[in-house]
Structure 1
Amino acid sequence: MTSLAARLKGRSELGIAALLAAVGAVVLWDASRLHVTYSQADAVGPKTMPYIAAALLLVCAVLLAVDVLRGGRGEAEEGEDVDLTHPSDWRTVLPLVGAFALNIVLIDVAGWVISGALMFFASVWALGSRRYVRDALISVALSLATFYGFYSGLGIKLPAGLLEGVL
């Protein structure tokens, strides 16, 4: 092993530091491209918060990298119930991935209420629930609640799809 590879062994947190630095750089670059009109009356302006966020991300990246290189290590959460010796449960993971993929395919055609209800139902089925009627009713209610929550509460229009004019 080379000396650099030996020094970096067991320091995977440096990857998180690199990710923080990359995100900070992207936010900084994007903030520099914001177009601000001269007629703006606010002294702070719309570029201030992105610059602050970018600076904080870059400072956190540097501090984390320095800490890791000095020997600091992240501690495992003691309350975590994950046994890392067991393999992944692909019989659960694959149906969940399929539920999200189905939602992506159907959301524009069928609309959020239908695709969301199918996604919620498929997710609880994949996680082991076998109370089909109750799960279907809760899935439809949750899908409708999120549709109207986004539409009425946030002003974000989710696709209505097949239920256009009904909702």
Structure 2
Amino acid sequence: MTAYRGFGRFLGAGLLAAATLAAGGCSSIRESRGFIVDPTLTNSIAAGVDNKQSVQAALGHPSFESQFGDPTWYYVSSVNQRRPFVRPRIGTHAVLAVHFDSAGNVSSVERSGIDKVVYLTPDGDKTPTLGRERGFFEDLFGNIGAVGAPGAQGPAGP
């Protein structure tokens, strides 16, 4: 009977160790993407005090810059949480937008988070476009007669 009790304790300890290892394998994985936020540095950027050089010295090169309108630098940070065999989820998401005036000085600083993220669902494998539907044969033979037709603009010859 004593040998059986020792075996039961050994078996119980083995099952506990196996359960602990299995639970450790199912923990979530955190992936940081983009700009790594340092609250001390991001809070130090002030309108009217900093310029492009000081912002780049403090935060580094932006994730991307605006192409239209006022010059704006965007610092995008995202932390995804992923569990094994499950799609990744966005845990935290932050965007720091630093707006500059025409002289290159900081005019304003905006912070936004996950509340402004838009989730898009693609519509299958087709992209809706304006215009009319054309069939295979219309695509194949649609240009016959269009070249050199009366009224068509062609190169002016002598």
TM range (shorter): under 0.3
Answer with 1 or 2: which has the greater Rg.
2
- Give TM-score scaled by structure 1 length: 0.20
- Give TM-score scaled by structure 2 length: 0.21
